[in-house]
Structure 1
Amino acid sequence: MKKLLYIFSLLLSLSGFAQNQSIFEKANALYNQGKYAEAIDGYNAILDTGKHSSDLYFNLANAHYKLNNIAPSIFFYEKALKLAPNDADIKNNMAFAKNMTVDAIDVIPNAGISKLLNNATHIMSFDVWAKTTIALVFCFVVLFLVYYFSYSTLKKRLAFIGSVVALTLLILTLAFTFHKYNLDKKDNPAIVFAQESKVKSDPNTRSEESFRLHEGTKVQVLETYNDWSKIKLTDGKTGWLITEDIKMLKDF
């Protein structure tokens, strides 16, 4: 009975994949015909099934860009980039989309050791760092066992040196794994979707207005309170805006 259920679920999955592929190809055809709004409907229909990919987000962003939908185009380019962080086409197209935004916000770069550490940490994803650490644990255990049970002086020496190197790399990768986890946990980006959003000093309508943001601007969400979100910009400015004015990028 379990096998029959497994086969049935597999067939459903394959059927759903084929259907989504058909919708994707039709949406691409509509895009090539200049029917961007209809193409968007097709891409969204795939997202409604719970499926997503960098290609889907990229094409969806392109369609919104063609219609001058600033916030959605940047939002979906950012989504695509999260799934394919080294894709040059996504980066180039997103740069064009960002040229349509109103807000010009400076970026305060990290400096010194902090910059080097963060750059090194972002070389790999958290999953890759974790898998590398596990692989080094395995290497260390094997080399230590070879050292412990070997009778040859040369084998002992080589196994000892190898186990020390593996242990050193293990400690380093473990540190990078935890640092990457903390960086990802703090990274809570969102895109402003409101045409204009008033950023307040406190989470209430009566508080003083600090500044204004416009659609397409990327912010970091620090915390939420009722219907308000505390955000931070790349230039260091912080403030509170209404949560419905933004869309979180981590929500898939």
Structure 2
Amino acid sequence: MKRILFAIMFFVSLLAFAQNETLFEQGNKLYNDGNYEQAISKYEEILSNGKHSAELYFNLGNAHYKLDHIAPSIFYYEKALQLKPDDKEINGNIAFARNMTIDEVDTIPEVGFTKFVNNISKALAFESWAYLSIGLVILFVVLFLIYYFADGTIQKRMAFVASLIMVIFTGLALSFAFHNYDLAQQDQPAIVFAQESQVKSEPNLRSTESFKLHEGTKVQVLDTVNNWKKIKLADGKTGWISSDDIKVL
């Protein structure tokens, strides 16, 4: 019975894969023929089937860019970069799309110890830091056993020092792992989709306007209250924007 169910599931997955490949090829042909709206429909149909890939998001971004859809093009380029952050073609195209935006937001660079810690934390994924921590713990146990059963004084001393070093490295690896996790949790980017949106000082319509944002601008979501999102710009400015005016990545 299990084999039959597995065979059915495998067959269904093959059919879904084939269907998505067909839609992707149809979308590419429509794009090459200049039928960008129809190409977008084909690509979105793939998304509705639960298929996600950097190539699919990239093509969606390209199609929207051809139609001068600023916010959607940047949104899908950003989605593609989440899957392939070092892709030169995606980075090149999103740079062109960002040139169409109105808002000029300066980025505050990280400096000093914060930059140092963040760079090390981002060097590995959270899972990689976790596996490294487990490996260091195993090394510590091995070295401690060597220390415990060793007969010679020099062997004991070397094993003891090495085990202490493993403890320190394990603590550092765990610290970087949790810092990496915190950075990932805090990273909630969104793209402004409204042509123009008022950013308020408080999460209500009666509050004063802090500044305006326009479509395509990237923000970080800090908090949510009812139908309002607290956002932060790359230059450090914060405010509240209507949830309907942005799309979270």
| TM-score (ref. length: structure 1) | 0.90
Q: SS of the counterpart of 1:4? A: helix
Distance change in 2, residues 1:161/1:11 (3 Å) = farther
Distance change in 2, residues 1:153/1:17 (3 Å) = farther
Q: Which residue of 1 aligns with 2:56?
A: 56
Q: Output the CA distance in 2 between the equivalents of 1:30 and 1:241.
A: 36
Q: Which residue of 1 aligns with 2:75?
A: 75
The one-letter code matched in structure 1 to 2:34 is: G
Distance change in 2, residues 1:2/1:117 (3 Å) = same
Distance change in 2, residues 1:145/1:27 (3 Å) = farther
Q: Output the CA distance in 1 between the equivalents of 2:190 and 2:235.
A: 16
Q: SS of the counterpart of 1:38? A: helix
- The alpha-carbon deviation at position 51 of structure 1 amounts to 1.5
Distance change in 2, residues 1:151/1:26 (3 Å) = farther
Q: Which residue of 1 aligns with 2:234?
A: 234
Q: Which residue of 2 aligns with 1:46?
A: 46
Q: Output the CA distance in 2 between the equivalents of 1:125 and 1:38.
A: 38
Q: Output the CA distance in 1 between the equivalents of 2:248 and 2:77.
A: 13
Q: Which residue of 2 aligns with 1:102?
A: 102
- 1:207 matched to 2:207? The reply is yes
Q: Which residue of 1 aligns with 2:15?
A: 15
Q: Output the CA distance in 2 between the equivalents of 1:152 and 1:34.
A: 79
Distance change in 2, residues 1:143/1:245 (3 Å) = same
Aligned length in residues: 249
Could you tell me the percent identity over the aligned residues?
A: 57
Q: Which residue of 2 aligns with 1:190?
A: 190
Q: Output the CA distance in 1 between the equivalents of 2:51 and 2:152.
A: 56
What is the CA deviation profile of residues 127-161 of structure 1, one whole-angstrom value per residue up to 9, with x for unaligned ones?
A: 22223223333333344445545668887677556
Q: SS of the counterpart of 1:122? A: helix
Distance change in 2, residues 1:137/1:26 (3 Å) = farther
- The alpha-carbon deviation at position 42 of structure 1 amounts to 1.1
Q: SS of the counterpart of 1:203? A: coil
Q: Output the CA distance in 2 between the equivalents of 1:153 and 1:27.
A: 72
What is the CA deviation profile of residues 164-217 of structure 1, one whole-angstrom value per residue up to 9, with x for unaligned ones?
A: 444333222111100011111111111000000011111111211111100000
RMSD: 2.1
Q: Output the CA distance in 1 between the equivalents of 2:17 and 2:136.
A: 37
Q: SS of the counterpart of 1:194? A: coil
- The alpha-carbon deviation at position 163 of structure 1 amounts to 3.9
